[in-house]
Amino acid sequence: MAAVSLEEARRLVLEGCRPLPFARERLGAAVGLATSEPVMAANAVPPFDNTAMDGYAVRAADTSSAPVTLEVIGTIAAGDTGDLAVGPGQAARIMTGAPIPPGADAVVMVERTRRQGDDKVVVEVAATPGDHVRRTGDDIRPGQEVVPAGTTLTAAHIGVLASVGADPVAVTRRATVGVLSTGDELAPPGAPLKRGQIRDSNRPTLLALLEQAGCRPVDLGAVGDDEAAITHALEQGLSACDALLTSGGVSVGDFDYVKVVLDRLSGGGMRWMQVAIRPAKPLAFGTVGAKPVFGLPGNPVSSVVSFELFARPALRQMMGHPHIDRPRATAVAEEDLRRSPDGKLHLVRVVASFTPDGTLRIRSAGGQGSHILTGLAAANALALLPDGPGVSAGEKTDIVLLADPLSLRP
């Protein structure tokens, strides 16, 4: 089978993944989802002129010859209607967020006043109209577009939407994604390991990656290398999910039944690829009834790298996100990162960190075997080493950031 390039494999995968329908999501559950339509403000923010400070609402003209003594006519708290009209020579005690009363046009901070008895205040500085007043619509005008369509909602966007009462909000639906492990060697959870058995590490890892990618993960369990069991599990998964991930059984072993089953379920529509990358060479991708199915490799590091390169961007595209890829950067190798020429792009697990002067640098995160999960766990980036001898200390190379480069310190 001819090897396909990373770009070609990615193109095939992204082409097969259509956007999901929209849904109305409560703001409390919408962070990280992408808006499916623009959101217009139903009200101004602030909705009324209010004070930015605790102090006294005054008529600025009354204070021009400060210090002046004004008559205190009452107190306006946040939440009050603020109907107390302030006439010439008068002031109202006012608390942050309270409406500016009729007649007043400025606020003097309490620190610039001195109270005299119950009904007098000395204002020590002259106020200018508008002082400490937050005007209606300062932030948002009614009818204004506050969040465009196709915005990945951050916590601050949630705040903006809440401030205009846009709850629920129209978003592209969260993808429900099933994860199935395959292999006779996988021990049942909690049971002691018998000879020849291993723990199923791919399934919890992929479920966690889905959660972090903003999907709704569905655990489809593990099945042995058995055609009927794999068929049953995949059919169940397809009926409940928008997309499926399997791991194992997609290379050229004698018991790789995932291939047989997916070929049948997809009506021959699966692509079995050997991608010119290391790790994560084998990849199966296709759609079953328009639902994408990713047959990821069994080796633990390979399944993660394959998820990162193919499944994560595809699922993010399905969920309408404007940015589907992890951030990339250029980094300086702190040490030699050697490889041998083999026609493939190597994705090396590295630790990226900033030097005090702001240079992004990388070093190997440890063992690079496709079964060495601890090397992956120690890494926060993948260095992209093109075919050739690798990079020498001091040379630059491109990296894909898997985590904040400040999250791991050398």
Site membership for Mg ion, residue 295 (CB under 5 A) = no
CA angle 335, 328, 272 (to 5 degrees): 100
Residue whose C-alpha is closest to residue 295's, from 317, 314, 324, 270: 270
> Is residue 261 within 8 Å of residue 231, measured between CB atoms?
yes
Least separation in angstroms between CB 248 and Mg ion: 4
Phi-psi category of residue 137: left, alpha or beta, with phi > 0 → left and psi -120 to 50 → alpha: left
| For Mg ion, the closer CB: 83 or 254 | 254
Among Mg ion, ligand AMP, none, what binds residue 202 when CB lies within 5 to 8 Å by partner kind? ligand AMP
> Is residue 109 within 8 Å of residue 51, measured between CB atoms?
no
Among 49, 62, 131, 200, binds ligand AMP (CB under 6 A): 200
| For ligand AMP, the closer CB: 139 or 185 | 185
**For residue 19, is the peptide bond before it cis, meaning its omega torsion is within 30 degrees of 0?**
no
| For ligand AMP, the closer CB: 200 or 242 | 200
Site membership for ligand AMP, residue 46 (CB under 6 A) = no
Site membership for ligand AMP, residue 298 (CB under 6 A) = yes
Q: How far is it, in rounded angstroms, from Cα 403 to Cα 408? A: 9
> Is residue 211 within 8 Å of residue 217, measured between CB atoms?
yes
> Helix and strand tally (H, E) in the chain?
8, 27
Non-local CB neighbours of 328 within 8 Å, separated by 6+ positions: 398, 399, 400, 401
Site membership for ligand AMP, residue 87 (CB under 6 A) = no
Among 90, 136, 247, 266, binds ligand AMP (CB under 6 A): 247
Give the interface segment with ligand AMP, choosing from 77-85, 107-115, 245-253, 393-401 (CB under 6 A). 245-253
Strand-pair partners of 258: none
Structure tokens at 188: 């049942």
Number of amino acids touching ligand AMP (CB under 6 A): 19
In the block, residue with structure tokens 């990618």: 213
Q: How far is it, in rounded angstroms, from Cα 106 to Cα 132? A: 7
Site membership for Mg ion, residue 375 (CB under 5 A) = no
Least separation in angstroms between CB 315 and ligand AMP: 19
Binding mask 168-197 for ligand AMP (x = CB under 6 A): -------------x-x-xx-----------
Among ligand AMP, Mg ion, none, what binds residue 16 when CB lies within 5 to 8 Å by partner kind? none
> Is residue 140 within 8 Å of residue 134, measured between CB atoms?
no
* Residues within window 172-211 making contact with Mg ion, judged by CB under 5 A: 183
Q: What one-character DSSP code corresponds to residue 35?
A: B
Least separation in angstroms between CB 12 and ligand AMP: 20
| For Mg ion, the closer CB: 82 or 249 | 249
Least separation in angstroms between CB 287 and ligand AMP: 21
- Amino acid identity, residue 208? A
Rg (C-alpha) for the chain, rounded Å, is 31
Site membership for ligand AMP, residue 297 (CB under 6 A) = yes
Binding mask 236-265 for Mg ion (x = CB under 5 A): ------------xx----------------
Tell me the residue nearest to ligand AMP as measured from the CB: 298
Please give the residue ranges that form the binding site for ligand AMP (CB under 6 A).
Answer: 181, 183, 185-186, 198, 200-203, 247-251, 253, 297-300
